[in-house]
């Protein structure tokens, strides 16, 4: 077993925890023990970092200082009213004014720490620990700094991250763009995928995955299947997904809230991905059949490239008018697809 001794340094600077675990993980299958600092507020991040063992030292030290643990914070007991106490046996005794308050406070802190560990085990089994840690960043700078540093260490962390999972990635924040599973897809698209064809057609993503099974994409394909076009799906957080890769993980394993509102970060990311794949192709024409943030991302890509794209959607990508415009444009610039006899 490895024991991390520099506990004070880790408490001060969470990036030290990350660097230490990464260096220890070069020797596989040896448990790593981080003594002294586990609290409910940081436990998910500690487990996410790759630590295998923690202890109750922080429960004792904080009880001696009169500090009460919640799942997200550490509060002076004097600030904790009985109605927000957790309801464990120690809390019931505390609210009745029983003696030996330090001991009761320790028992409560330990109860909440163990409860948090149960929740983390459940998140691990469901493949949702990353999302849970992202949520914890809202309450603690330590968690926040750790996750930001973690996402900067892509090359070191990538070998440890699964290449497939049945669990869908929930793309709820701008941080999702930096997840290893997302970056790996984008990096491989840049280095291994060669765009082909003369006509690029950018289409909006659908909530249903793979996109081809959605109602809107079945409508789009009733037109595009007649022409020689290279289809690219615009989406956040993956940027651009070539039609032929829509089954590749995680292109069919993510979900994103459909609000129609794009953050500045998402728009920049989308425009860079569109510009990159367009630049690497040898397209005579680029057609965009999309609205809202999808179209805005493409307009920004035009500015990056200094090219002009053709826009075919007239307010609603599945309206008769828009679909008719798409067909007319493709008839004028694309070769008809050769049908098999
Ligand atoms: Zn309690």
Q: Report the separation in Å between the CA atom of 101 and the middle of ligand 1, taken as the mean of its atom positions.
A: 12
Segments forming the whole domain that contains residue 233: 174-333
**Model confidence pLDDT, tens digit, residues 11-56:** 899 999 999 999 998 888 899 999 999 999 999 999 999 999 999 9
Other beta carbons within 10 Å of 84: 11
Same domain for 142 and 18: yes
Q: Report the separation in Å between the CA atom of 118 and the middle of ligand 1, taken as the mean of its atom positions.
A: 15
Provide the percentage of residues in the chain whose pLDDT is more than 90: 77
**Model confidence pLDDT, tens digit, residues 200-238:** 999 999 988 899 999 999 999 999 999 999 999 999 889
What mean pLDDT value characterizes the chain?
A: 92
Same domain for 179 and 139: no
Neighbours of ion ligand 1 (CB under 5 A): 86, 88, 91, 108
Same domain for 211 and 128: no
Q: Report the separation in Å between the CA atom of 43 and the middle of ligand 1, taken as the mean of its atom positions.
A: 17
Q: Report the separation in Å between the CA atom of 90 and the middle of ligand 1, taken as the mean of its atom positions.
A: 6
Q: Report the separation in Å between the CA atom of 7 and the middle of ligand 1, taken as the mean of its atom positions.
A: 26
Residue 24: inside a domain? yes
Distance CA 321, CA 327 (A): 10
Residue 119: inside a domain? yes
Q: Among 208, 273, 200, which Cα is nearest to 234's? A: 273
Band of residue 163 on the pLDDT scale cut at 50, 70, 90: confident
How many structural domains is the chain composed of? 2
Phi, psi for residue 6 in degrees, rounded to 5: -85, 60
pLDDT of residue 341: 57
Q: Report the separation in Å between the CA atom of 75 and the middle of ligand 1, taken as the mean of its atom positions.
A: 13
Q: Report the separation in Å between the CA atom of 313 and the middle of ligand 1, taken as the mean of its atom positions.
A: 58
Same domain for 107 and 77: yes
Q: Is the entire prediction scored with pTM above 0.75?
A: yes
Same domain for 231 and 121: no
**Model confidence pLDDT, tens digit, residues 92-143:** 999 888 889 999 999 999 999 999 999 999 999 999 999 999 999 989 999 9
Q: Report the separation in Å between the CA atom of 55 and the middle of ligand 1, taken as the mean of its atom positions.
A: 18
pLDDT at residue 340 tops 70: no
Same domain for 181 and 32: no
pLDDT at residue 334 tops 90: yes
Q: Report the separation in Å between the CA atom of 246 and the middle of ligand 1, taken as the mean of its atom positions.
A: 48
Same domain for 120 and 46: yes
| Bridge partners (DSSP) listed for residue 311 | 288
pLDDT of residue 303: 96
Q: Report the separation in Å between the CA atom of 199 and the middle of ligand 1, taken as the mean of its atom positions.
A: 64
| Bridge partners (DSSP) listed for residue 279 | none
Q: Report the separation in Å between the CA atom of 140 and the middle of ligand 1, taken as the mean of its atom positions.
A: 21
Q: Report the separation in Å between the CA atom of 108 and the middle of ligand 1, taken as the mean of its atom positions.
A: 4
Residue 169: inside a domain? no
pLDDT at residue 318 tops 70: yes
Higher pLDDT, 155 or 8: 155
237 three-state secondary structure: coil
Here the CATH number for the domain that contains residue 35 is 3.20.20.105
pLDDT of residue 252: 85
Same domain for 185 and 115: no
Quick one: the chain helix, strand, coil %, rounded to 5? 50, 10, 35
Band of residue 282 on the pLDDT scale cut at 50, 70, 90: very high
> What mean pLDDT comes out for the span 166-193?
87
pLDDT of residue 171: 76
Residue 304: inside a domain? yes
Residue 318: inside a domain? yes
Distance CA 154, CA 62 (A): 35
Band of residue 6 on the pLDDT scale cut at 50, 70, 90: confident
Phi, psi for residue 194 in degrees, rounded to 5: -110, 115
Same domain for 200 and 151: no
Band of residue 324 on the pLDDT scale cut at 50, 70, 90: very high
Q: Report the separation in Å between the CA atom of 114 and the middle of ligand 1, taken as the mean of its atom positions.
A: 11
Residue 68: inside a domain? yes
Q: Report the separation in Å between the CA atom of 17 and the middle of ligand 1, taken as the mean of its atom positions.
A: 29
> What mean pLDDT comes out for the span 66-85?
93
Residue 341: inside a domain? no
At which of 103, 126, 159 does a domain end? 159
pLDDT at residue 75 tops 80: yes
Greatest C-alpha distance within the chain = 89
Same domain for 296 and 205: yes
Q: Report the separation in Å between the CA atom of 88 and the middle of ligand 1, taken as the mean of its atom positions.
A: 4
Residue 168: inside a domain? no
Same domain for 226 and 187: yes
pLDDT of residue 29: 87
Q: Report the separation in Å between the CA atom of 44 and the middle of ligand 1, taken as the mean of its atom positions.
A: 19
Let me know: does 59 contact 106? Beta carbons within 8 Å: yes
């Amino acid at each position: 077993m490895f024991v991390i001794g520099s506990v004070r340094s880790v408490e001060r600077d969470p990036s030290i925890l990350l660097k230490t675990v990464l260096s220890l993980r070069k020797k596989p299958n040896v448990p790593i023990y981080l003594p002294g600092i586990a609290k409910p507020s940081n436990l998910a991040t500690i487990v996410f970092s790759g630590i295998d063992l923690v202890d109750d030292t922080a429960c004792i030290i904080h009880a001696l200082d009169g500090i009460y643990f919640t799942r997200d914070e550490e509060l002076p007991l004097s600030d904790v009213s009985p109605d927000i106490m957790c309801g464990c046996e120690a809390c019931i005794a505390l609210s009745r004014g029983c003696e030996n308050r330090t001991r009761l406070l320790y028992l409560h802190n330990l109860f909440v720490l163990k409860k948090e560990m149960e929740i983390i085990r459940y998140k691990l089994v469901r493949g949702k620990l990353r999302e849970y840690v992202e949520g914890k960043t809202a309450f603690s700078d330590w968690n926040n700094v750790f996750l930001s540093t973690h996402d900067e260490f892509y090359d070191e962390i990538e070998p440890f991250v699964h290449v497939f999972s049945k669990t869908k990635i929930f793309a709820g924040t701008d941080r999702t763009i930096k997840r290893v599973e997302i970056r790996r897809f984008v990096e491989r698209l840049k280095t291994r995928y060669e765009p082909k064809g003369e006509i690029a057609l950018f289409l909006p993503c659908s909530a249903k995955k793979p996109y081809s099974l959605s109602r809107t994409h079945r409508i789009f394909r009733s037109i595009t299947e007649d022409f020689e076009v290279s289809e690219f799906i615009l989406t956040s957080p993956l940027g651009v997904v070539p039609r032929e890769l829509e089954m590749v993980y995680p292109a069919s394993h993510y979900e994103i809230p459909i609000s129609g509102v794009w953050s500045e970060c998402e728009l920049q990311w989308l425009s860079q991905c569109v510009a990159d794949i367009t630049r690497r192709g040898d397209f005579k024409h680029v057609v965009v059949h999309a609205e809202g943030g999808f179209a805005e991302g493409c307009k920004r890509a035009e500015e990056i490239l200094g090219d002009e794209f053709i826009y075919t959607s007239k307010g609603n990508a599945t309206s008769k008018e828009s679909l008719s415009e798409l067909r007319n444009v493709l008839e004028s610039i694309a070769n008809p697809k050769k049908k098999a006899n």
